[in-house]
A and B are shown apart, each in its own frame.
Chain A
């Protein structure tokens, strides 16, 4: 949360969308460091088509449809002096590249006894809630949370996106960044400073409160904040915590909030079994059980595939009304 006055904000910040924040971070990092390259499919039309023109073909690699191998090529390039940003586009395509992400990127520093560094960023978009059915709509970050060696971030605001993507590019480890397409159009104030960084591994309290903690993952921040507003009208003060980074998880911020409120509602668009919030629920149960006044509530997508039919798909993801109900259940 910003503590600047409106006047100060307009001098140091600019309003932009989540999508614009992604492109701005990439362009600024490419301008800052010539080792940073961009790889992925259909990049000639990306960033309004200006990126290839500005940086040339040795910095922008528009790839054939070969996800596993261009991902591996990025890893090889990362080990030998470059800092690639790889656009894997739709997160469901990660499965094609998962061998290289899990077996190579995540393991090579360890398996070589620290000889190799793998400074690579994989951008994966969570393309759900837009009627493109089960093979394009997965939210697979929990699977990758179970693959040690990766850092995993899931920003929810334009400022966090820009600052975390920049931190990811400057980090010496492989970072997987999940961006929620439902946030692409959302706008917010973003620092102009090209060295504006949001630290990896640091949660953010998006709204302070005292009666209940709502932890929301990525795009779930929107219904979580909306629910907090509705609850406020009913005299319930909800604290909304956004982990921003899923690995390494900032559990201290979450535990501290729960120890203050004694109540926890978790909101996640991933499938229910072993979702990101399943891990958070386990940590809170193990480490702050005595702080809890009532059982933890998890709101997730059920363990069902995403149907193409919009009427069915909209039943899947947690809503502000469901969040309000979950909070009331444990008040």
Chain B
């Protein structure tokens, strides 16, 4: 089913929220305000939002080191996310996770894993749990083309197929695992074609088309809720920025400038969807008012994060255990 008007505007709003949030993050990172890593998903917003729009609030998601887009796509508030990027105590993970690990339980983001492929079994377990508890929740594992070469991809999808678990395996294939291209690392570059080997449906979709992503994911979710088992979806997409913001690739470039420019100029998912919306009687003013609202939310989030404190030294041992026993160990001296 295509989007109705309200869904279409919400999808656009979420894509703008990811774009605007990450543009702010790029600036903050280069200005030294975000420590550690900063992997942006600019260019991949349609794949993320199209998938998330097919899910309910109580459905689960696991993700990757490129973690900002997933909670935003699922509808998370921005303040806690931006504060987490800045490693503040008001961050969604209290400054313990940082940019690569934006879990937000309130919207079902149970954990983004910076171990490539590490989240795939977790999502499988969320689906197992939903099935065992007799709910109609589903889980969705976001992972990249690189992760599809990990053993967890094979093991997890096979288990989900055997047990007909309600799991959507969603590959954001942006063409490159850091600098290694799909063609240099995959015997079969169409990752979703592996689905046949597991006896489950597999779909390859245009990851720059948010509505196409939504329609395929929505059908897979519906099937999963009805007990039909897992689906493998591969969204062909593209990362506009470097693997990490500001990463300087020394030596031969691994992708051509012309390729990057072609995506930015001709396959920007936000521009493409603006055109679709305008063809459906959404006005420039409507779109501008969404952009204004998003920009304000992002600026508020940045201000919130900037004025927040870092965690105290006295909190160092917090959150190690749900049920701490003799922890931290005290010295008898």
Contacts and interface: CB of A to CB of B under 8 A. Distances in A.
B126 A110 contact: no
A325 interface: no
B110 A79 contact: yes
A148 interface: yes
Given A113-B96, A114-B318, A172-B323, A75 B121 contact: yes
Contacts of A252: 332
Contacts of A81: 129, 133
17 contacts: A61-B128, A68-B155, A69-B152, A70-B121, A73-B125, A80-B60, A80-B130, A100-B121, A111-B96, A112-B101, A113-B92, A113-B93, A115-B104, A118-B322, A248-B327, A249-B326, A286-B331
Interface stretch (B20-28, B157-165, B229-237, B291-299): B157-165
Interface of A: 37, 58-59, 61, 63-64, 66, 68-82, 99-100, 103-104, 108-119, 148-149, 151, 171-173, 199-201, 248-252, 255, 286-288
Contacts of B321: 109, 149, 151, 173
Given A73-B121, A73-B124, A111-B111, A287 B331 contact: yes
A118 B62 CA distance: 15
B181 interface: no
Contacts of B320: 109-110, 148-149
Nearest to A150: B321
Given A82-B129, A151-B325, A72 B121 contact: yes
B122 A251 contact: no
A249 B125 contact: no
A76 B122 contact: yes
Given A103-B118, A104-B118, A112-B97, A248 B329 contact: yes
B28 to A, nearest CB: 20
Contacts of B134: 58
Nearest to B80: A113
A251 B329 contact: yes
Interface in B100-129: 101, 103-105, 110-111, 113, 115, 118, 120-129
Contacts of B121: 68-73, 75-76, 100
Nearest to B153: A69
Contacts of B333: 286-287
A80 B139 CA distance: 11
Contact of A113 (B62, B95, B159, B331): B95
Contacts of A111: 93, 96-97, 101, 103, 111
B125 A113 contact: no
Nearest to B97: A111
A99 B115 CA distance: 9
Contacts of B123: 76
A252 B323 CA distance: 20
Interface in B148-174: 151-152, 155-156, 158-159, 162-163
A151 B321 CA distance: 9
B306 to A, nearest CB: 19
B91 interface: yes
Given A66-B156, A248-B327, A287-B332, 14 more contacts: A64-B159, A69-B159, A76-B127, A76-B139, A79-B111, A82-B129, A104-B115, A110-B319, A111-B93, A115-B105, A151-B321, A248-B326, A251-B332, A255-B332
B131 interface: yes
B194 interface: no
A251 B332 CA distance: 10
B247 interface: no
B96 A77 contact: no
A37 B128 CA distance: 11
A58 B130 CA distance: 10
B325 A79 contact: no
Contacts of B322: 109, 114, 117-119, 172-173
Given A72-B124, A100-B121, A113-B91, A171 B332 contact: no
Contacts of A115: 92-93, 103-105
B256 interface: no
